[in-house]
Amino acid sequence: MTDPPPDPSTSRSPPLSGTIADALTPELELLRPLGRGSTGQVYLARERPLNRMVAVKVLSKQLAGDAVARARFEREASAAASLDHPNTVTLHRFGYTSDGVPYLVMQYVAGVTLADRLAAEGPLPVAEVRRILGDVAAALSAAHRNGFVHRDIRPANVLCERDSGSVLVTDFGLAGLLEGQGSGKSRLTRTGEVLGEWRHVSPEQLRGEPATESADVYALGVMGYELLTGAGPYQATSDAEFVTTYLHAPQNLTALTADVDPELADLLRRCLTRDPRQRPDAGHLARRLRRSDSGARASSEGAGLDFVDDLLRRRLPQVVAVTLVAGYAALGFIDQLVDRGVVPGVVYRMSLGTFAYSVVASAVISWFHGRRGRQRVSRLEVVLLALVAGAWVITCGLILLL
């Protein structure tokens, strides 16, 4: 999408492939090719009923001939169409050509991709990179809240609008079409698809695990290095070198470019941690990258929002609320048993202590295991739960003695 669209009042359709042009619905007038992606060919078109320019992506024959990919396309396209965010390319609708090939009608963005900008300009200014990453993170956060993952975040899938300078993420939901297709670069296993280039793939995907929201965050961190330095976080010129360097920590960003501020370097370093549980979520990144650090008030407000968001992401309020309700109901039942003389009063006092410590234990467990995905048991969690258990034993002992 590198050239401005032709004037709708004067342009005529250049000769295109008759098979594609004739197979589309009559309301779409193909004008010229815009490019080719991993899932198909993209054309500039005029949508005749609304007289507007749109981008039409026609799925490749390989994908169109696979029944599983066609079904996934329908599901993913429907989900992507529900995403309404200023930093995402709007998906207007999808359909099938007369010969059964799926296609998408998307918002046309007159501009270039981030990959094109990098090739033409080299590394971008830090302030510009912060703005771009913040907008992409905001788009990812909106997608993650809607329950789907991009799975192919890289400069080629981020568009820069020529007039406004806005950045828009494209191909939401389409990366999953490659699952089960091909081999080598396109996938590793049935469940853990590896899409796009190796350099943007998270460690857990390379282990054969499915892509989650954290995989998008990892790819965003890789892209941040590319925008700032012109290269990725690992010093490699070939796939073989990449596999070797990938086993080590990413390069120190502040050593690669002196202009980057410590906060941005720390954020990108956290995005690239091997444990997906330790990566920040996209919403946290968007707020940190977009937030002005002009005053302590803005910083403290942002920190408060981050903490609240972290609690909600770990489902801690919900877990504690359920524990409180269940404990309250159990205490009420035991109180009735005490009133009827079925159990002694000391049972109620011990139950009250057990209830209090169970609330604390549920909060600890939720903090370490409340996020989606597999969660490992950490040493800190074991220590905290051991302290809670010890305090509970001491409390129960004191109740029995008194």
Report the catalytic residues.
152
**297-323 burial code (b ≥16 CB/10 A, e <16):** eeeeebeeebeebbbebbbbeebbeeb
Query: For residue 280, what are the contacts with CB-CB under 8 A and spacing of at least 6?
Result: 217, 267, 270, 271, 288
List C-alpha distances in Å: 324 to 86, 275, 333, 359, 395.
40, 32, 14, 7, 19
SS3 state of residue 53: strand
Half-sphere exposure of 289 (CA within 13 A, CB side): 30
Short-list 28, 25, 176, 197, CA closest to 108: 28
Query: For residue 285, what are the contacts with CB-CB under 8 A and spacing of at least 6?
Result: 133, 134, 137, 141, 217, 220, 267, 271
Q: For residue 155, what is the DSSP state?
A: G
Amino acid at 267: L
Q: Using CA atoms, how far apart are residues 185 and 195, in angstroms rounded to an integer?
A: 7
Beta strand 52-59 with 91-96: parallel, antiparallel or unpaired? unpaired
Short-list 41, 31, 35, 33, CA closest to 8: 31
Q: Using CA atoms, how far apart are residues 155 and 229, in angstroms rounded to an integer?
A: 13
Question: For 308-315, which contacts have Cβ atoms below 8 Å and span 24 or more sequence positions?
Answer: 309/281, 309/283, 309/284, 310/284, 313/281, 313/370, 313/371, 314/366, 314/367, 314/370, 314/371, 315/366, 315/370, 315/371
